[in-house]
Amino acid sequence: MSFRPEESPSRLAAIVASSDDAIVSKDLTGKIMSWNASAERMFGWTAAEAIGQPITIIIPLDRRQEEDFVLSRIRQGLSVDHFETIRQRKDGSFVEISVSISPIHAPDGTVVGASKIARDITEQKRLRQQAEEANRLKDEFLATLSHELRTPLNTVVGYTAMLLKGMMDEPQRAKALEVIHRNAQVLTDMVGELLDSSRMVTGKVRLEIQDTDLSQLAEEAIENIRPSVAAKRLHLHVRIEPAVQILADPDRLRQVLWNLLTNAVKFTPIGGRIEVDVYSESPSVFIVVRDTGIGVSPEALQHIFKRFWQADNSRMREYGGLGLGLSLSRYLAELHGGTIEATSDGDGRGAEFRVTLPLKLGAAAARAV
């Protein structure tokens, strides 16, 4: 902060007093000489308590060397601009600040002290860290996407080239077409997931609400995963209450069921167990999918429904997928007025996903009768 020589002392004092930034002055021994209202709010010490005290009352012990550096520059008539550091409040808590420090000169030009202007940058740093984390997650996601696209594309291109060159007999051609179709479907599903994720961000997902038999939807979804369950020799236990009726978009709920069931199969090792429960308890219906798979760490549970986030990118590569399914599932559940929650006892100890949706009022009333 700079002042014009013609500005009166009373005007300068008013500017300092009304500033949103903490403005503090000290002498060359580090003793506080002035302390404005913003400094009181930022650090918790009143002016009466702070003035006359060493500036070290707001400097954490492990940062005391910073004060030696600052004073050495001030004695040389040099400034310190936008130095980011941490200071300590009266109650012992910490605040992240950006501080600019300038020498105070006597009329003869001698340096007699320093003025400090400090700004609380806690929120600014939090937003910066969020942006950096978002960029990191996007970079990881793009790397995963590249890997996931390359595998089926290479398969399609390779088999197509062999077909075009007439390198296969009839049985081989039939198998090649089957492989091409399967990998093309993988690519189609992947593109669909990306488009849904984009629509989710822009708020363009629309629901086609209708009377829906959730029990039937769940049974159909389970039938679709039975071949994968059999291939891994998993133990599947299903308890579906009949005729659970809700108002919903059946296609979108089918997506949620498919994401939860395929994840359970994907992340449960051979011989493991998967349980699926669908039931109603007015005023809600519940879809619960439990497994004895790789589990989720307590740290990962905080982030598991975030877009682009994967608990362990290298480990996820082993299982495949873009890591968008759970974020989409949560979004779709919330669009239906419901929730989705995940619990786990930790790595290697399985996981449970619970979807809660509103029970159709007519069905609830009929059940009550």
Q: Which residue range(s) make up the domain with 328?
A: 205-369
Q: Is the domain of 88 the same as that of 161?
A: no
Beta-carbon contacts of residue 240 (< 8 Å; ≥ 6 apart)? 215, 218, 219, 276, 277, 278, 279
Determine the pLDDT at residue 232. 94
pLDDT tens digits for range 217-257? 999 999 989 989 999 999 999 999 999 999 999 999 999 99
Taking all residues of the chain, what is their mean pLDDT, rounded to a whole number?
Answer: 86
Name the band, by pLDDT with cuts 50, 70 and 90, for residue 365.
very low
Name the band, by pLDDT with cuts 50, 70 and 90, for residue 317.
very low
Name the band, by pLDDT with cuts 50, 70 and 90, for residue 12.
low
In a domain, 3, yes or no: no
If one compares 317 and 19, the residue with the highest pLDDT of the two is: 19
In a domain, 290, yes or no: yes
Q: Is the domain of 135 the same as that of 115?
A: no
Paired with 286 in beta bridges are 279, 356
Phi and psi, residue 144, nearest 5°: -65, -45
If one compares 60 and 307, the residue with the highest pLDDT of the two is: 60
Distances (CA, A) of 27 to 58, 97, 183, 217: 16, 21, 74, 76
Measured CA angle at 310 (ends 255, 275), to 5 deg: 50
If one compares 186 and 108, the residue with the highest pLDDT of the two is: 108
Determine the pLDDT at residue 142. 77
d(C-alpha 170, C-alpha 230), whole Å: 30
Supply the CATH number for residue 43's domain.
Answer: 3.30.450.20
Q: Is the domain of 247 the same as that of 280?
A: yes
**Closest C-alpha among 231, 217, 196 to residue 260:** 217
In a domain, 4, yes or no: no
Determine the pLDDT at residue 18. 63
Determine the pLDDT at residue 15. 61
Q: Which of the residue ranges 107-116, 226-235, 314-323 would you say has the lowest mean pLDDT?
A: 314-323
Q: Which residue, of 72, 91, 120, is where some domain finishes? A: 120
Q: Is the domain of 343 the same as that of 257?
A: yes
In a domain, 228, yes or no: yes
Q: Is the domain of 107 the same as that of 71?
A: yes
Q: Is the domain of 306 the same as that of 262?
A: yes
If one compares 338 and 321, the residue with the highest pLDDT of the two is: 338
Determine the pLDDT at residue 14. 62
Cβ atoms of residues 79 and 73 within 8 Å: yes
Q: Is the domain of 269 the same as that of 366?
A: yes
Q: Which of the residue ranges 166-180, 308-322, 343-357 would you say has the lowest mean pLDDT?
A: 308-322
Q: Which residue, of 105, 120, 135, is where some domain finishes? A: 120
Determine the pLDDT at residue 152. 85
Q: Across residues 170-183, what is the average pLDDT? A: 90
Q: Is the domain of 244 the same as that of 332?
A: yes
Q: Across residues 160-172, what is the average pLDDT? A: 90
Determine the pLDDT at residue 5. 47
Determine the pLDDT at residue 57. 95
If one compares 311 and 367, the residue with the highest pLDDT of the two is: 311
pLDDT tens digits for range 129-163? 888 887 887 777 777 777 778 888 888 999 899 99
- Domain count along the chain: 3
Q: Is the domain of 230 the same as that of 293?
A: yes
Determine the pLDDT at residue 24. 94
pLDDT at 182 over 70: yes
Name the band, by pLDDT with cuts 50, 70 and 90, for residue 322.
low
In a domain, 339, yes or no: yes
Q: Is the domain of 58 the same as that of 89?
A: yes
Determine the pLDDT at residue 308. 63
Q: Is the domain of 96 the same as that of 147?
A: no
Q: Is the domain of 194 the same as that of 175?
A: yes
| pTM to 2 decimal places | 0.57
